[in-house]
């Protein structure tokens, strides 16, 4: 039992050391991080199609990014048609997935912006 407790304490010490290193890196790079986060203007994206965006193959083989959120006609919302730019369609699929992940990326920017603000307020 003593061995297990020691292992838990060693793990805790390891995580605390790692957390301190992350905090130091954030502190050293906070201006750069803040600049990048600030450059993304959230208001540009207000009113975007809500809900999850998905990548799917259209009836004629086109790659579509769409959402099940109904448009004004009650139909599925098509967000983007991604044209194939390579023979394997690997790049096309990657581009489509990047577009489909845009709402998730925007949510992460908002989370990071909030965390950065809390970090700044806590370090005063």
Which residue's structure tokens are 């203007």?
Answer: 41
Side-chain half-sphere CA neighbours of 98 within 13 A: 7
**C-alpha separations of 34 from 43, 75, 85 in Å:** 17, 40, 35
- Structure token digits, residue 44: 């540009």
So what's the pLDDT on residue 1? 45
Tell if the pTM clears 0.75, that is, is over it. Answer: no
The H or E element spanning position 56 is: strand 53-57
Query: Residues 60-84, buried b or exposed e (16+ Cβ, 10 A)?
Result: eeebbbbbeeeeeeeeebebbebee
pLDDT value at 30 more than 80 = no
Residue 96, Cβ density class (10 Å: 0-12 exposed, 13-18 middle, ≥19 buried): buried
Q: Dump pLDDT digits (tens) for 40-89.
A: 888 889 989 888 899 998 777 789 999 988 888 888 888 999 987 777 78
């Amino acid at each position: 039992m003593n061995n297990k407790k020691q292992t838990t304490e060693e793990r805790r010490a390891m995580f605390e050391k790692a957390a301190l290193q992350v905090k130091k890196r954030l502190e050293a790079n906070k201006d750069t991080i803040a600049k990048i986060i600030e450059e993304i203007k959230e208001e540009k994206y207000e009113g975007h199609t809500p809900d999850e965006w998905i990548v799917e193959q259209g009836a004629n083989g086109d790659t579509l990014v769409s959402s099940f959120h109904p448009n004004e006609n009650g139909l599925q919302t098509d967000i983007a048609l991604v044209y194939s730019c390579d023979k394997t369609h690997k790049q096309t699929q990657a581009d489509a997935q990047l577009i489909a992940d845009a709402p998730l990326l925007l949510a992460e920017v908002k989370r990071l912006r909030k965390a950065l603000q809390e970090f700044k307020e806590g370090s005063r």
